[in-house]
Chain A
Amino acid sequence: GAVVSQHPSRVICKSGTSVKIECRSLDFQATTMFWYRQFPKQSLMLMATSNEGSKATYEQGVEKDKFLINHASLTLSTLTVTSAHPEDSSFYICSAFAGTVPYEQYFGPGTRLTVT
Chain B
Amino acid sequence: GIQVEQSPPDLILQEGANSTLRCNFSDSVNNLQWFHQNPWGQLINLFYIPSGTKQNGRLSATTVATERYSLLYISSSQTTDSGVYFCAVERNSGNTPLVFGKGTRLSVIA
Contact = CB atoms under 8 A, between A and B. Distances in A.
B86 to A, nearest CB: 7
B48 A102 contact: yes
Quick one: which of A98, A104, A106 has the most chain B CB within 10 A?
Answer: A104
B35 A43 contact: no
Interface in A7-52: 31-32, 34, 38, 42-44, 46, 49
Contact of A107 (B43, B48, B95, B102): B43
Contacts of A109: 40-42
A107 B35 contact: yes
B41 A91 contact: yes
A61 interface: no
A98 B94 CA distance: 8
B59 interface: no
Interface in B77-102: 86, 88, 90, 93-98, 100-102
Interface residues of B, number: 23
Interface residues of A, number: 25
A25 B4 CA distance: 27
A17 B75 CA distance: 48
A99 B51 CA distance: 19
Contacts of A105: 31, 33, 90, 94, 98
A34 B99 CA distance: 12
Interface of B: 30-31, 33, 35, 40-43, 45, 48, 86, 88, 90, 93-98, 100-103
13 contacts: A32-B95, A42-B102, A43-B86, A43-B100, A93-B43, A103-B31, A103-B48, A103-B90, A103-B95, A105-B94, A106-B45, A107-B42, A110-B41
Interface of A: 1, 31-32, 34, 38, 42-44, 46, 49, 91, 93, 95, 97-99, 102-107, 109-110, 112
